[in-house]
Amino acid sequence: MTEIEQMPDFRLIDHKGYKIITNIHSPEELEKLEDGEVYDDDLFVVTYPKSGTIWMQQIMTLIDAKGDLSASQSKLTSECFPWVELTEFAKNFASRPSPRLYCSHLPWYLLPKGLRQKKGKIIYVSRNPKDVLTSYYHFHFFANMLETPKDFEDFLDKFIDGRVNGGSWFDHIRGWYSHKDEFNILFLTYEELIKDLKTAIVKITKFWGKDLDDQQVNNVVYHSTFRNMKTNPKANYEEIPKTMLDQDKGSFMRKGVIGDWKNTLTVAQNERFDQVFEEKMSDCPLKFVWNM
């Protein structure tokens, strides 16, 4: 059987106003996940796609190992720190041993309801949406479960309308931000991690309630820089099968900078994005860093 014949049928479908992918997500399992029991030592990192998820997976795994890279090398990052919405993990939510670490792209209303009683902790990481859009566009050529865009204009339409895995960036961030007081949540931005990784790591460590000395924090910083993650097969997902990610066509660790959108959006596309941003976000107090 060829690679193509083995490829599962990946289709974007709607689940309660959010977009998921057939064969990796299941509406039935997501429905059950909402009622899953939450424990105080559960920790979720929540992001819209391309906002720094695998970066946070690496940072959190290293904080947990007090900066010891070898402790985080024995298993795939996706096993230590899985996406809760993937069917195999959503199904086993109740039986996973504590303390449970998950990442998720789900909107606020699809994660287990217990989180809304401030049980467990959430770290929400956002990124300026022009860089999210740019990163996501490139990722669609690399990830086989996502439809290859016709061109950037086509992808821009889909992103603005929320016709992508993860749904609307605007709804995602607005939803999480407006419901923040219901959760035990720390908001961080990709840009603050870029600008001062150590300060961000110390903030995360405190929020999580971990106790690391300065050398251990420095080790976490060192092993989670873009350069070091890019050459670490465990951190950059080189081991994911080709049916999911075609390593010849791209990389999770692409550029890792602020402002790459300038190399992709035309002047007209940028003006259109600014107009949509203004319409959808003018009443939201969150501020974004667009350039370094």
Q: Tell me if 102 sits within 8 A of 42, measured CB to CB.
A: yes
Torsion of CA 151, 156, 159, 160, to 10 degrees: -160
Residue 201 touches ligand PPS, criterion: CB under 6 A: no
State the residue for tokens 């909402």: 34
Residue 69 touches ligand PPS, criterion: CB under 6 A: no
Residue 273 touches ligand PPS, criterion: CB under 6 A: no
Strand-pair category, 18-21 with 43-47 = unpaired
Q: Where are the alpha helices (DSSP H) in the chain?
A: 3-6, 27-33, 53-64, 77-80, 87-91, 129-142, 152-161, 169-178, 190-195, 197-208, 214-223, 226-230, 267-281
The 235-264 contact track toward ligand PPS, x by CB under 6 A, reads -----------------xxxxx---x----
What does the alpha-carbon distance between residue 49 and residue 65 come to, in Å, rounded to a whole number? 25
Residue 127 CB, nearest approach to ligand PPS (Å): 8
Residue 39 CB, nearest approach to ligand PPS (Å): 25
Give the range of 68-76, 110-118, 203-211, 225-233 binding ligand PPS by CB under 6 A: 225-233
Helix (H) or strand (E) holding 185: strand 185-189
Please tell me which residue in 105, 138, 140, 223 is annotated as part of the active site.
105
Residues 112-171 that bind ligand PPS (CB under 6 A): 131, 135, 138-139
Phi-psi region of 183 (alpha: psi -120 to 50; beta: other; left: phi over 0): beta
Is there a catalytic annotation at residue 179?
no
The smaller minimum CB distance to ligand PPS, of residues 58 and 216, is found at 58
Tokens of 276: 């949509």
Residues 70-109 that bind ligand PPS (CB under 6 A): none
The smaller minimum CB distance to ligand PPS, of residues 41 and 260, is found at 260
Q: Which residues carry out catalysis?
A: 105
Interface with ligand PPS by CB under 6 A: which residues? Answer: 47, 49-55, 131, 135, 138-139, 224-226, 229, 252-256, 260
